[in-house]
Amino acid sequence: MDQALRDKAQSWLDSPIDADAKAEIESLLNNETELTEAFYKDLEFGTGGLRGIMGIGSNRMNKYTVGMATQGLANYLKKTFTDEEIKVAIAHDSRNNSRFFAETTAAVFSASGIKVYLFEDLRPTPELSFAIRTLGCHSGVVLTASHNPKEYNGYKAYWNDGAQLIPPHDKNVIDEVNAIDGIGSVNFEKNDTLIESIGSEIDAQYNEMIKGLSVNPEVIARQKDLKILFTPIHGTGMVSVPPALEAMGFTNVRVLESQSKPDGNFPTVVYPNPEEKEAMSMALKEAEAWDADLVMATDPDADRVGIGVKNHHGEWQLLNGNQTGSLLLYYMLQAWKDTGKLTGKQYVVKTIVTTDLIDTMAADFGVDCPNTLTGFKWIANIIREEEGKKEFIAGGEESYGYLVGDSVRDKDAVASCALISEMVAYAKDKGQSLFDLMMEMYQKYGFYLESLKSITKKGKTGAEEIAAMMEGFRSNPPAQLGGSPVVRFRDYQAGTEKDLITGEESALDYPKSNVLQFFTEDGTKISARPSGTEPKIKFYFSVNGDLPAADQFDTVQASLTSKIGQVVEDLQIA
């Protein structure tokens, strides 16, 4: 067994950890594979913060890794805000140990002399972002692993604008964590006088903010009995989405009973992820029986939302993240135009792997659409930079995360559920279904079809395989994909874009990131990106074509689907 690994495990055994933790480490000393997975690296802040499987070890989510992360963050806050009373807000989702980790975080902050606002019970991630801004906090933390399986938990750190950490703050916090001389340097002795419980007063302000996002309240008044089926998939959405829909004026909301109770074991699903058809299968069955107008599902911390609609065949189908995001932006742009709110000083934001349909629509409405790296923290960064200059309408990313208005600085499924419901009411008020509205959008701007392929490679060897795969594409980009020549190649790690026809290179104006993109002559876009929070490499595919008439939807969709299949085959990742 690797001696460095044994030494690291021994350093934990020699630290002031509890007896149960010591016993767990000792049991791992006889299992090289498990010991390696638990200790081969330290958990780091990635695109989603700190996230990992729960258990003992430096590469696991536990009291001590949470404590060290918090101590590092506390130390950084004290160095950054030297002459202020530092305040932080803490929230958590429905996952196993989330409350314990939240209380651990509160204890370490308070032990460092920092004022803590701790939510009394589970609350959605976007409400934590809202609370940071509302209470004038310098930072905040939410304990969640988002849509990951039940074995995971996580720690998302936020800055004083309510957005997740970006450089230099994320790296500086890690430097502070690394500077801590072992677990014994973490102060877990909480100061109760510095911990304040919060709840209903923030809920009320949050719901009032969401209500204020409505563009067509008169439409809701006419369609208030819209049949909305909602499932929180055993997560935090249960405490937030129904009250938000009620605040908007919707009176006919049904919660899927079998998934209504918050439960970190997520007993009715394999993955608590609205991106997965299996996770929404029970809701779709109930929607069909009830003849609902809309079905919505949120993930455990209620920052992502998936929706289902009835299609032109009268069958229920799920929309992907690009479709929902495009529809929401289409509705918001049209509604702002109809109400005279577009003045030329508005903008929307999307990520580089999200559908370019949004760019096309924004251009038609005369609205800017900057693109960012993957991760909502980069969208929030644009909002921060444009504050006081331009007005943010909405933004989103293909992974089912959307934001309307700038009172929150992270993806917000609660507000999105409210505005998606208004969008469906708007369509119904015109005698349309949401699917009809999508056909209208595609006929006007083109039928964009996107697909995502994730390849999981677990553990240390998996990380090495993913790195080798990226290096292969980087050093030898494909010449053609889907029957069309690759004409442009972007390497966001190198910060360059290359014209493969002329050989000319130019610089990209983005932070460095391990992302590759290939663009073909016929408008196909392929992106490759290792996940920052999961042991996966993700491939994003986008193809497009004309939709002359709604009755040609099936034919065009089949053709575009076939094209994506050809691209996958060409990349040899099937």
Name the residues annotated as catalytic.
146
Contact 491, 477 (CB under 8 A): no
Which residues, other chains included, contact 14 with Cβ-Cβ below 8 Å and sequence gap of 6+? none
- The torsion region of residue 234 among left (phi > 0), alpha (psi -120 to 50) and beta comes to left
* Distance, C-alpha 72 to centroid of its chain: 24
State the DSSP H helix or E strand holding residue 386, giving kind and residue range, or none if neither. helix 376-386
Cα 126–127–130 angle (5° rounding)?
A: 90
Establish whether the linkage from the previous residue to 530 is cis, with ω within 30° of 0: no
Neighbours of 70 (CB within 10 A): 31
N- to C-terminal Cα separation, the chain: 36
- From the list 502, 540, 549, 542, the residue with the least C-alpha distance to 520 is 542
Contact 398, 408 (CB under 8 A): no
Helices 321-338, 357-364: crossing angle, 10 deg rounding: 10
Which residues, other chains included, contact 359 with Cβ-Cβ below 8 Å and sequence gap of 6+? 350, 369, 371
Burial 487-523 (b: 16+ CB within 10 A, else e): bbbbbbeeeebbebeeeeeeebeeeebbbbbbbbeee
